[in-house]
């Protein structure tokens, strides 16, 4: 198993191959349909270069002290992000986490930008939450809790399987 540490550089993902199993330590950001749309149409809320995006709508609890905790976090179907993902990857995202695969436009963007798409196992939201150490911030909460971009500090988040690599290969072929 390969543990990637964020922020990621091109060299960190260029040798990953379809079928490799990875974990991620550092920072990941959740981003679903509306966050992707907003990134493309209105601009990125922060520099996305070297970042990891997770197609997830976490269940979040706001604690009495005003901080947040993740109760559960699992992948959502990635194909819903197909209209936006290539443009988002062009902004420097190195790893996209989701489930179910993505289209050939995304495959080309991964290849052009030396990035990878990895799959998280559906139904493992309670398992993945154990790797979340803290919620660092939230962006675009006006979109609602599932659609907001949550910045999460994680430790050995995974296991994740490389499903589309930076050489254009896909587990779905």
CB 13 within 8 A of CB 95: yes
Q: Which CATH number fits domain 2-164: 3.50.50.60, 3.20.130.10, 3.30.565.40, 3.40.50.720?
A: 3.20.130.10
Confidence of residue 127 (pLDDT cuts 50, 70, 90): confident
Each residue of 84-125: pLDDT tens digit? Answer: 999 999 999 999 999 999 999 999 999 999 999 999 988 788
| Residues belonging to the active site | 36
Each residue of 29-65: pLDDT tens digit? Answer: 999 999 999 999 999 999 999 999 999 999 999 999 9
Confidence of residue 126 (pLDDT cuts 50, 70, 90): confident
pTM given for the model: 0.96
Name the token pair of 135: 């919620």
- Please report, for the chain, the start and end positions of each structural domain, with discontinuous segments joined by +: 2-164
CB 146 within 8 A of CB 57: yes
């Amino acid at each position: 198993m390969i543990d990637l540490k964020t922020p990621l550089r091109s060299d960190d993902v260029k040798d990953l191959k379809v079928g490799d199993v990875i974990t991620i330590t550092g920072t990941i950001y959740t981003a679903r349909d509306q966050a992707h749309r907003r990134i493309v149409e209105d601009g990125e809320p922060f520099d996305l270069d070297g970042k990891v995006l997770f197609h997830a709508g976490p269940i979040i609890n706001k604690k009495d002290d005003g901080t947040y905790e993740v109760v559960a976090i699992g992948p959502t179907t990635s194909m819903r992000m197909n209209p936006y993902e290539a443009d988002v990857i062009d902004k420097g995202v190195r790893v996209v986490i989701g489930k179910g695969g993505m289209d050939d436009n995304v495959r080309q963007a991964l290849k052009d930008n030396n990035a990878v798409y990895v799959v998280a196992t559906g139904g493992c939201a309670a398992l993945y939450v154990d790797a979340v150490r803290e919620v660092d911030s939230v962006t675009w909460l006006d979109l609602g809790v599932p659609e907001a971009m949550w910045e999460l500090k994680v430790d050995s988040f995974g296991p994740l399987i490389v499903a589309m690599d930076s050489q254009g290969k896909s587990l779905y072929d």
